[in-house]
Amino acid sequence: MKKALIICAAGMSSSMMAKKTTDYFKAHSKDIQLDAVTATEGEDEIRNGDFDLFLISPQTNMYLDNFQKVGKEVGKPVVSVPFDAYIPIPMGIEKMAKLVEKNL
């Protein structure tokens, strides 16, 4: 199973996106799971977490450079999520899923 982590400001919208995108993958027979944490936990998760990909939410894009630097140090991809892939409607969920698959 591949695992991706959304790093967000408060974790509420990211938790919803993680669940809906994981459900999307299950419905399409893909073994990919998403989870979510707050930005304060982001660096530690990138360094020590058991994830294959880290997704930086639009609200926490100001931390992107630092998170990408940490990701490079530990050999893990860190990518920015565009606004249109961060909307909990079918179009946004599909775009999030495509972003995850492209970067895994």
- Each residue of 19-71: pLDDT tens digit? 999 999 999 999 999 999 999 999 999 999 899 999 999 999 999 999 999 99
Closest listed residue to residue 70, CA positions, set 3, 9, 1, 5: 5
What pLDDT is stored for residue 69 in this prediction? Answer: 98
Residue 13 scores a pLDDT above 90: no
Instruction: Name the amino acid, one letter, at 15.
Output: S
Inter-residue contact 87 to 60 (CB < 8 Å): no
Dihedral in degrees, nearest 10, Cα atoms 88, 91, 93, 96: -120
Give residue 10's pLDDT band: very low, low, confident or very high (50, 70, 90): confident
Q: What is the DSSP string of 23-60?
A: HHHHHTT--EEEEEEEHHHHHHHHHH---SEEEE-GGG
CATH number at residue 30: 3.40.50.2300
Name the domain count of the chain.
1
Residue 78 is inside which H or E element, if any? Answer: strand 78-80
Strands 78-80 and 2-8, bridge-based pairing: unpaired
Instruction: With a cut of 90, say whether residue 98 has pLDDT above it.
Output: yes
DSSP code for 75: T
Q: At 104, is the pLDDT very low, low, confident or very high (cuts 50, 70, 90)?
A: very high
Domain range enclosing 12:
1-101
